[in-house]
Structures are given as structure tokens and as C-alpha cells.
């Protein structure tokens, strides 16, 4: 019974590929609300056809958000799928780069990130219904439209839904090797500004305080904060300073991208950056923190959750591996709330946000079988 689940899903690979092509054909660039809403309409119809009760949350700047529920009154906390419909590709990309299949991989804009994840979610529900194995537990799907622009419109709802959930399944792609993501780094962005005093570079250089030189000192210090061995990176990514060639500059700024594995490491670096002191007499250093994501930590809860997925995989004849990512996802939000989160539950593929973006087709039925088994077997 359990083993034939995988075979059953593999026999339906063509159906999954057709669904993936259909979803890609609805181009859905994050900031193109009209285009994204066309896919939202399509999704709402598909979710309802699969037996869900669907609530729609209107949005002004981005596509509307959907919350679908199966078995809302069944006992226990829901298992919640997190998917996003938006992509980084403007309408018209598909005409330039049509869908193609080569060597068992499907290429197309948004294919791996994350139309394939949406395909897997819809196919999992369908398979469980067809087989009469739909578990008697609440299953939810939060369908957002702004993940690629930092989830700033959906974050409130993500938090609200996650707070009620027992497990979040983030349908972002697996690693290129097919592993789940049991850690994701936290991200913090800073702007370090230096302020000096302007003066004519020829007439009175001694009267100036050079903000660019001050910034150079700070950049070296920032660079010394790197601790790559422990997963902390501090990268100065952009600098600006001065405005005229013959004037000692009175202002300069550096943009800093910081990544870290634990909230504690993030706090340490934040304190160090905010504590930067000026080197030149009379200069000032002003630090401003920008957006950030807390890390998805490979903590005890994560280790237990992964061990359970591995056992469930074994029960249907699939080996499940784990790895991590330096990039963030909505899983960073849910995990930081203490909600058990499994990330990288989407397809295997390559080239997120790149022109060679592709999906390994054989990973579609495998993930459908794994998640179908998980929905049946998961113990909170």
C-alpha cells in the first residue's frame, strides 16, 4: 500500500507536468498585480475544485492572498502549506524563453521558484482524494503573492496562520541535489554613514574632515567581522561618497549585507556594527539597520522534524537528505515563531532567478508521494 503510493504518483507524472506548464503560462511578476490576480483566480478555482474552503484577502499593491482549508473542523492543529505565486519575471519573459523539456528537465520562467512547488501541493491533495486516503486532519494552504519582494504585504497573515499551525511546509525548491533545507541563514542589512567636514581640497585641506577616509577605516573593520567558518558573513556591497573632485567630502556611506546561522550570532554582529566608533578626530559614524530576516535554525525541533520526514520517506521507499541555504524564505518567519517548519519541500532543480531555471521532472512525483505520506503519518 505505502510503496505503491510512489508508483501511483510516478504514473501521473505527465499530469503534473501539464499542470506545471499551465501555471507557468500565467506569468506572475510580483509587482504586476493584474497578472498575478489572473493566477490567483485560477488557483482559487483549482483549490475549490479540490474540496477546499477558500478565503480571499484583497491586496492593493500586490496580488490577492488566498487561504484554503480542508477539514477545518477536524481535530488537531493544521499542517499548512506555504506557497507563493509571484515570480521575478515580467510578463513577456515566456515569449522570449518558452517552456521546453530537455534531458528530463522542464525549463521556463518561474518553473522552479516556485510553480513546481504549487504543482506539488495541488497534486498531493488530488492524489490523496483519488485514492480515498485524505487524512482526517485540518490541512491549510496559504497562497501569497509577494515573497520575491520580501513578503512585506503578506507577513502579517503568514504570522497569524503560522501561529495556529502545527507544521508549516514551505514549498520552496529543494537544493539542486534534492535535499530539504533544514537551515537558512538570517539576513540583516545596514547602512554605515560617515560625516566629516567639507573644505576646499586646494585652499584649505587641513580644515576638512574626510568622510571617505573615515569610511575606509570603517570598511576594514566591517570586513574583519567576517567569521565564515561559523557561517557569519559581513559583506560591504556598495559604497558612495563625496560629490566634487576638488572638495574634501563631508559624507560617505557603505551598504552592508550580513548573513548568520543563529539569532545569537545575528545579535552579536548587530551590536558590533552599531558600536562602530570614528577613527578621525571630529568625524561621526551613523549606523542604520535595514530589513532583516531571522535565521531558520537547525535546532532540536528542526532535527526532530527532519528525522520524522526521513522515516516517512523510508516508509515509501524514498531517501531524504538535508542541506541548507544562505538565502531566506517565508520559512525564516514561521521558524522564528517557534512553529515546526520544513523548507525546501518543493521540486529539485537549478537556477533560481536565473535564465537556466529548470525543474527535474522526476522530482515532482517523488515529492508528491513524500508529502502525501507525510500528511497521513505526521505526528505533531
- From the CB of 172, what's the least distance to Zn ion, in Å? 5
R_g of the chain computed on alpha carbons: 24
Residue 330 in the binding site for Zn ion (CB under 5 A): no
Here the cell at position 8 is 501511483
Q: Is 283 in the site for Zn ion (CB under 5 A)?
A: no
Residue number, 297 or 357, with CB nearest to Zn ion? 357
Q: What is the phi/psi pair of residue 81, to 5°?
A: -80, 135
Nearer to Zn ion, 144 or 262 (CB): 144
Whether 273 and 189 have beta carbons less than 8 Å apart is answered as: no
Least separation in angstroms between CB 345 and Zn ion: 12
Distance CA 27, CA 29 (A): 6
Query: C-beta of 97: minimal distance to Zn ion in Å?
Result: 18
Name the β-bridge partners of 353. none
Binders in 151-190 for Zn ion, by CB under 5 A: 172
Interface region with Zn ion, contact rule CB under 5 A, candidates 22-30, 85-93, 113-121, 199-207: 113-121
Query: Based on CB atoms, which residue is closest to Zn ion, 19 or 345?
Result: 345
The nearer residue to Zn ion, 54 or 149, going by C-beta atoms, is: 149
Please identify, among the stretches 74-82, 105-113, 199-207, 258-266, the one whose residues bind Zn ion according to the rule CB under 5 A.
105-113
The least distance separating Zn ion from the CB of residue 147, rounded to whole angstroms, comes to 5
When the beta carbons of 250 and 357 are compared against Zn ion, the nearer one is: 357
Q: How many residues bind Zn ion (CB under 5 A)?
A: 3
CB of 284 to Zn ion, least distance (A): 40
Q: What is the smallest separation between the CB atom of 194 and Zn ion, expressed in angstroms?
A: 36
Distance CA 101, CA 264 (A): 45
Candidates 87-95, 114-122, 160-168, 260-268 — which segment interacts with Zn ion by CB under 5 A? 114-122
For CA atoms 42, 48, 52, 57, give the dihedral sign: positive
Contact status: 113 vs Zn ion (CB under 5 A):
yes
CA 368, CA 204: separation in Å to the nearest integer?
72
* Pairing state between β 349-350 and 358-360: antiparallel
**Closer Cβ to Zn ion, 50 or 114, answer by number:** 114
Q: Which residue is nearest to Zn ion (CB)?
A: 113
Are 183 and 354 a contacting pair, CB within 8 Å? no
Interface with Zn ion includes 114 (CB under 5 A)? yes
Shortest Å distance, C-beta 18 to Zn ion: 22
Q: How far apart are CA 359 and CA 351, in angstroms?
A: 9
Dihedral sign for Cα 124, 125, 130, 133, please. positive
Q: Between 148 and 366, whose beta carbon lies closer to Zn ion?
A: 148
288 - beta bridge partners?
Answer: 191
Nearer to Zn ion, 64 or 113 (CB): 113
What single-letter DSSP state applies at residue 205? Answer: G
Alpha carbon 30 to its chain centroid, in Å, reads 14
Nearest approach in angstroms of CB 110 to Zn ion is 9
Query: Measured between alpha carbons, how far is 374 from 347 in angstroms, rounded to an integer?
Result: 16
Cβ 97 vs Cβ 172: under 8 Å: no
Q: Which residues bind Zn ion (CB under 5 A)?
A: 113-114, 172
Amino acid at each position: 500500500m505505502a510503496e505503491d503510493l510512489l508508483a501511483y504518483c510516478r504514473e501521473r507524472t505527465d499530469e503534473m507536468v501539464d499542470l506545471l506548464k499551465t501555471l507557468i503560462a500565467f506569468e506572475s511578476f510580483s509587482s504586476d498585480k493584474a497578472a498575478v490576480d489572473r493566477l490567483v483566480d485560477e488557483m482559487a478555482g483549482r483549490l475549490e475544485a479540490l474540496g477546499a474552503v477558500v478565503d480571499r484577502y484583497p491586496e492593493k499593491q500586490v496580488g490577492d492572498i488566498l487561504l484554503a482549508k480542508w477539514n477545518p473542523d477536524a481535530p488537531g492543529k493544521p499542517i499548512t502549506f506555504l506557497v507563493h505565486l509571484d515570480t521575478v519575471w515580467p510578463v513577456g519573459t515566456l515569449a522570449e524563453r518558452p517552456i521546453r523539456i530537455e534531458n528530463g528537465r522542464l525549463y521556463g520562467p518561474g518553473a522552479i521558484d516556485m510553480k513546481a512547488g504549487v504543482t506539488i501541493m495541488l497534486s498531493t491533495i488530488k492524489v490523496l482524494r483519488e485514492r480515498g486516503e485524505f487524512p482526517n486532519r485540518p490541512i491549510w494552504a496559504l497562497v501569497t503573492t509577494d515573497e520575491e519582494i520580501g513578503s512585506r504585504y503578506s507577513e502579517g497573515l503568514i504570522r497569524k496562520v503560522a501561529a495556529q499551525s502545527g507544521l508549516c511546509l514551505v514549498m520552496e525548491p529543494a537544493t539542486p541535489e534534492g535535499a530539504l533545507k533544514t537551515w537558512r541563514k538570517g539576513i540583516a542589512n545596514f547602512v554605515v554613514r560617515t560625516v566629516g567636514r567639507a573644505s576646499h581640497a586646494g585652499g584649505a585641506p587641513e580644515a576638512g574632515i574626510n568622510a571617505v577616509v573615515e569610511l575606509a577605516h570603517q570598511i576594514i573593520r566591517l570586513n574583519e567581522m567576517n567569521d565564515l567558518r561559523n557561517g557569519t558573513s559581513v559583506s560591504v556591497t556598495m559604497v558612495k561618497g563625496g560629490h566634487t573632485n576638488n572638495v574634501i567630502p563631508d559624507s560617505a556611506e557603505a551598504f552592508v549585507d550580513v548573513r548568520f546561522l543563529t539569532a545569537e550570532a545575528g545579535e552579536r554582529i548587530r551590536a558590533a556594527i552599531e558600536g562602530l566608533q570614528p577613527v578621525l578626530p571630529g568625524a561621526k559614524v551613523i549606523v542604520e539597520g535595514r530589513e532583516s530576516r531571522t535565521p531558520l535554525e537547525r535546532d532540536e525541533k528542526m532535527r526532530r522534524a527532519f528525522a520524522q520526514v526521513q522515516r516517512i520517506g523510508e516508509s515509501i521507499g524514498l531517501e531524504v537528505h538535508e542541506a541548507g541555504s544562505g538565502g531566506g524564505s517565508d520559512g525564516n518567519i514561521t521558524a522564528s515563531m517557534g512553529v515546526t517548519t520544513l523548507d525546501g519541500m518543493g521540486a529539485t532543480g537549478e537556477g533560481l532567478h536565473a535564465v537556466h531555471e529548470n525543474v527535474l521532472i522526476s522530482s515532482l512525483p517523488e515529492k508528491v508521494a513524500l508529502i502525501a505520506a507525510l500528511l497521513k503519518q505526521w505526528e505533531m
